[in-house]
């Protein structure tokens, strides 16, 4: 019988304490590279809090706060984010909301790293490298500091992806939990609705019998719970069973860049939405025709551009225009989609492509005290923060961030390469299409394509980064494994954890 090794006399340590310390040291060594990355990402966010003590604001910020107190289902954006603001109201400061969003941003990177290490066996350096764009890109950090719904939406989507991919095949309760997360995401931003189709399609493509059917069924039910509840609430207040009544107005702006009423021939009820400006002289900027006062006829409808009337008429007009001019619509949506991969400098110049590059300036850390909000709007923010201060810019921290946001960014071309790396693992036959990179890759592409089809804004791109980085890491690791196997003369393995996931 082997006697347990005695600890040195006077060490003051119990055996279980020594074991825990050994496990902690081993854990730290194994995840040292990611720990350093996470530390750097946290440090950047601390500098942001020091340089800009309060939340940065965008015109949509006032809409969210106005819908949070009193809590109402908003017309323009779903009120999932206002509900979050209301839940955090006990902290009595909007600065706490920004802290929570920075923690969410860090958590997205942690989830991606953990998934790549545990589920797919990537080395520490590989999984860490994959999360660098997620944790350090200034675009993501900027949005975390704004009073906007983007970070919450991205967090819920990434959580759903990780839950489903954590097991192979995923158990029914994991599918239910993922569906619930996507349902909550849909109440934050309507772009969450198409993601359910992506998830269900990926589950069915990886069909494993009754377990898959059970997973699909509970996923649908779990998704419907928050969505149906929200739509019912929306109907009780606004008189229409929906998540928002802004879709028609937004899509109207998109088609107005090319819609020719001589071609689409709308009925009399929709002719009021026709523009007098010739198509050749119109701006290729959809928001101009949705929001611009004195330009957009949809603003003149009862209830405004986001009211139920505008939603129904605008949607009917837009669908009619798309049916009559499908190629023009595909061109417009394709140009929006391409903006996600264009080289934007954040400042107008010879390398700035399209409107997206100019709009990026709206989300940058300001060098001077921002002028927004106006005094009237400030009273709105005091509903959730009784001592809401003027937005502050504190030196030298803000100066450091001016340099950081100019160089440490995930550029459009690099995002394109990341997307291609994920796609590469899916090319080459049905077996690889069923591979684990499919769900994160399709999720990321859906997050890019949906806004491009309705209303593109550069901030919508950020939510797609984490899923695409996960897909790219899996794809590169798969390709590297196949190349190594081929060089060793063994050919491609019959089945690996990566391929059968």
pLDDT at 484 over 80: no
Predicted confidence band of residue 348 (pLDDT cuts 50, 70, 90): very low
Residue 429's pLDDT is 47
Residue 501's pLDDT is 37
| In contact, 52 and 392? CB cutoff 8 Å | yes
For the stretch 242-258, pLDDT in tens is: 999 999 999 999 999 99
pLDDT at 120 over 80: yes
Q: Which residue has the higher pLDDT, 101 or 19?
A: 101
Q: What percent of the chain has pLDDT over 90?
A: 51
Rounded-to-integer distance, Cα 442 and Cα 461, Å = 14
Residue 302's pLDDT is 86
Predicted confidence band of residue 280 (pLDDT cuts 50, 70, 90): confident
**Taking each helix axis from N to C terminus, what angle separates 462-487 and 438-454, rounded to the nearest 10 degrees?**
140
Measured CA distances, 324 to 160, 234, 320 (Å): 38, 32, 6
Rg (C-alpha) for the chain, rounded Å, is 25
Rounded-to-integer distance, Cα 195 and Cα 199, Å = 6
Residue 357's pLDDT is 57
Residue 152's pLDDT is 97
Q: What are phi and psi of 71, to 5 degrees?
A: -75, 115
Rounded-to-integer distance, Cα 50 and Cα 191, Å = 33
- Of 140-144, 163-167, 284-288, 441-445, least confident by mean pLDDT is 284-288
- Of 96-100, 136-140, 155-159, 380-384, least confident by mean pLDDT is 380-384
Neighbours of 130 (CB within 10 A): 27
pTM of the model: 0.89
Residue 440's pLDDT is 95
DSSP letter for each residue of 448-459: HHHHHHH---GG
Nearest one of 428, 456, 215 to 341, comparing CA atoms: 456
Residue 382's pLDDT is 81
76-87 average pLDDT score: 93
Predicted confidence band of residue 414 (pLDDT cuts 50, 70, 90): very high
For the stretch 301-324, pLDDT in tens is: 888 888 889 899 999 999 999 999
Q: Which residue has the higher pLDDT, 225 or 372?
A: 225
Residue 290's pLDDT is 83
| In contact, 33 and 124? CB cutoff 8 Å | yes
Predicted confidence band of residue 197 (pLDDT cuts 50, 70, 90): very high
| In contact, 8 and 19? CB cutoff 8 Å | no
Neighbours of 113 (CB within 10 A): 25
- Alpha carbons within 13 A on the beta-carbon side of 237: 18
**Taking each helix axis from N to C terminus, what angle separates 172-188 and 80-87, rounded to the nearest 10 degrees?**
90
Cis amide bond preceding 366, omega within 30? no
Residue 99's pLDDT is 96
Q: Which two tokens stand for residue 232?
A: 């019912």
Residue 500's pLDDT is 35
Cis amide bond preceding 70, omega within 30? yes
Residue 359's pLDDT is 67
Residue 378's pLDDT is 75
335-360 average pLDDT score: 63
pLDDT at 340 over 80: yes
60-66 average pLDDT score: 90
For the stretch 6-51, pLDDT in tens is: 445 454 555 677 777 777 777 777 778 999 999 999 999 999 999 9
Residue 213, Cβ density class (10 Å: 0-12 exposed, 13-18 middle, ≥19 buried): middle
C-beta contacts of 281-286 below 8 A and 24+ residues apart: 282/256, 282/257, 282/258, 283/257, 284/257, 284/332, 284/335, 284/354, 284/355, 285/257, 285/355, 286/250, 286/253, 286/254, 286/256, 286/257, 286/332, 286/336, 286/455, 286/456
67-76 average pLDDT score: 90
Biggest CA–CA distance in the chain, Å, is: 95
- Of 265-269, 371-375, 411-415, 420-424, least confident by mean pLDDT is 371-375
Instruction: Give residues with Cβ within 8 angstroms of 329, minimum separation 6.
Output: 254, 255, 258, 321, 322
pLDDT at 349 over 50: no
Instruction: Compute the mean pLDDT over every residue in the chain, rounded to the nearest whole number.
Output: 85
| Three-class SS state of 56 | strand
Rounded-to-integer distance, Cα 196 and Cα 263, Å = 35
Place of tokens 């545990």: 118
Measured CA distances, 301 to 75, 290, 296, 319 (Å): 15, 12, 10, 18
463-479 average pLDDT score: 92
Place of tokens 């959809």: 286
Residue 2's pLDDT is 45
In the DSSP assignment, the letter for residue 71 is B
Residue 329's pLDDT is 94
Residue 352's pLDDT is 36
Can you say how many angstroms the Cα of residue 238 is from the centroid of all Cα atoms in its chain? Answer: 27
Predicted confidence band of residue 499 (pLDDT cuts 50, 70, 90): very low
For the stretch 124-156, pLDDT in tens is: 999 999 999 999 999 999 999 999 999 999 999
Q: Which residue has the higher pLDDT, 212 or 343?
A: 212
363-379 average pLDDT score: 74
Predicted confidence band of residue 347 (pLDDT cuts 50, 70, 90): very low
């Amino acid at each position: 019988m082997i006697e347990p090794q005695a600890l040195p006399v006077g060490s003051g340590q119990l055996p279980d304490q020594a074991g825990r310390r050994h496990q902690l040291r081993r854990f730290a060594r194994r995840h040292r590279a990611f720990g350093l990355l996470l530390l750097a990402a946290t440090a950047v966010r601390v500098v942001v809090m020091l340089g800009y003590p309060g939340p940065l604001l965008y015109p949509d910020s006032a809409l969210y706060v106005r819908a949070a107190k009193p809590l109402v289902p908003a017309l323009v954006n779903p009120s999932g984010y206002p509900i979050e603001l209301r839940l955090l109201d006990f902290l009595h400061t909007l600065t706490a909301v920004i802290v929570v969003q920075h923690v969410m941003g860090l958590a997205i990177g942690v989830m991606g790293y953990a998934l790549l290490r545990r589920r797919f066996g990537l080395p520490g350096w590989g999984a860490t490298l994959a999360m660098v764009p997620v944790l350090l890109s200034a675009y993501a950090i900027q949005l975390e500091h704004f009073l906007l719904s983007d970070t919450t939406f991205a967090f819920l989507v990434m959580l759903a992806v990780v839950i489903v991919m954590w097991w192979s095949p995923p158990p029914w309760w994991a599918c239910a939990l993922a569906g619930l997360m996507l349902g909550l995401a849909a109440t934050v931003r309507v772009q969450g609705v198409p993601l359910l189709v992506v998830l269900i399609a990926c589950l069915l493509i990886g069909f494993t019998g009754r377990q898959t059917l059970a997973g699909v069924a509970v996923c649908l039910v779990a998704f419907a719970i928050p969505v149906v509840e929200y739509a019912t609430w929306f109907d009780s207040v606004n008189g229409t069973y929906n998540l928002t009544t802004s879709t028609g107005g937004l899509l109207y702006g998109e088609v107005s860049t090319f819609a020719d009423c001589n071609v689409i021939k709308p009925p009399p009820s929709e002719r009021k939405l026709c523009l007098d400006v010739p198509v050749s002289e119109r701006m290729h900027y959809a928001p101009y025709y949705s929001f611009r006062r004195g330009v957009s006829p949809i603003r003149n409808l009862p209830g405004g551009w986001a009211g139920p009337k505008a939603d129904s008429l605008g949607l009917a007009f837009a669908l009619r225009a798309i049916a009559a001019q499908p190629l023009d619509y595909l061109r417009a949506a394709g140009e929006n989609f391409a903006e996600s991969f264009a080289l934007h400098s954040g400042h107008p110049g010879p390398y700035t492509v399209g409107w997206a590059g100019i709009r990026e300036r709206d989300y940058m850390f300001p060098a001077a005290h921002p002028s927004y909000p106006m005094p009237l709007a400030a009273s709105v923010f005091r509903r959730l923060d009784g001592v809401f201060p003027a937005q502050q810019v504190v030196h030298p921290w803000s100066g450091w961030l001016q340099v950081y946001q100019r160089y440490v960014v995930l550029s459009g071309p690099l995002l394109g390469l990341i997307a291609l790396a994920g796609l590469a693992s899916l090319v080459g036959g049905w077996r690889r299409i069923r591979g684990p990179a499919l769900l994160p890759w399709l999720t990321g592409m859906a997050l890019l394509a949906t806004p491009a089809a309705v209303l593109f804004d550069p901030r919508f791109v950020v939510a797609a980064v984490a899923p695409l980085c996960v897909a790219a890491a899996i794809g590169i690791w798969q390709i590297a494994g196949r190349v190594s196997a081929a060089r060793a003369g063994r050919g491609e393995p019959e089945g690996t954890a990566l391929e059968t996931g």
